[in-house]
Amino acid sequence: AQSVTQLGSHVSVSEGALVLLRCNYSSSVPPYLFWYVQYPNQGLQLLLKYTTGATLVKGINGFEAEFKKSETSFHLTKPSAHMSDAAEYFCAAVDGGYQKVTFGTGTKLQVIP
Amino acid sequence: KAGVTQTPRYLIKTRGQQVTLSCSPISGHRSVSWYQQTPGQGLQFLFEYFSETQRNKGNFPGRFSGRQFSNSRSEMNVSTLELGDSALYLCASSLDADRGTGIQYFGAGTRLSVL
């Protein structure tokens, strides 16, 4: 069964600093990969997705993620953190052909002014 | 275009009761998935409905059930509520073309508190 691991349940960065949120998946077959963001009392919003093709994926709000098959990783980055980036971020994966999505445990990002 | 609508947003029930949650997908989306989100277990897949049929199911007891109507609206039912059922229940919908890719759009959720 697919599993998704997010390293660090809480990450703090200063405003303007690099954001790096880590995600590793377990499948031997590269799955479809996603990053979602959740603001308090809201549902999940899709930040970006990797299905096939280019391994560097750009998403909304200046975020991007790189799929590295050799490392089974899909880390999320943003060059310069903004206060509005404070939220919880979820990495997710789905094995092709199914709609059952496996989520990581989430990383809460705190941005310090 | 309206997003995924979940009603009610908040619900308080007592142990032993049953509850029904509703989800209206984005217009044109026929796939609806349900997830339970708790601080301890994170986000867990409950089930997916497509064209009124349950297509996938997660590892939840039979107290959790769902259905989908011909207009793609979906309901989730939890019978004999337990304290541990307190959670945010999220619904997500997707296009036919996106089924199997995991691409889906989430509603704001229903916060269920069981006392």
Digit-coded pLDDT (tens) for B15-26: 999 999 999 999
Can you tell me which residue has the tokens 């999940």?
A: A44
| 3 state SS of B8 | coil
Contacts of A3 (CB under 8 A, 6+ apart): A25, A26, A102
Q: Which has more confidence, B10 or A97?
A: B10
Digit-coded pLDDT (tens) for A27-74: 766 678 999 999 987 889 999 999 878 889 999 999 999 999 889 999
Residue of B nearest to A96 (CA): B100
Residue B25 DSSP code = P
Token pair, residue B1, equals: 């275009």
Chain B contact set for A45 (CB, 8 A): 106
Chain A contact set for B35 (CB, 8 A): 101, 103
Under 8 Å between Cβ of B94 and B31:
yes
Partner residue opposite B102 with nearest CB, options A41, A101, A106: A101
Token pair, residue B24, equals: 């209206």
**CA separation for the pair B3, A94 (Å, rounded):** 22
Chain B contact set for A102 (CB, 8 A): 45
| 3 state SS of B74 | strand
Under 8 Å between Cβ of B19 and B36:
no
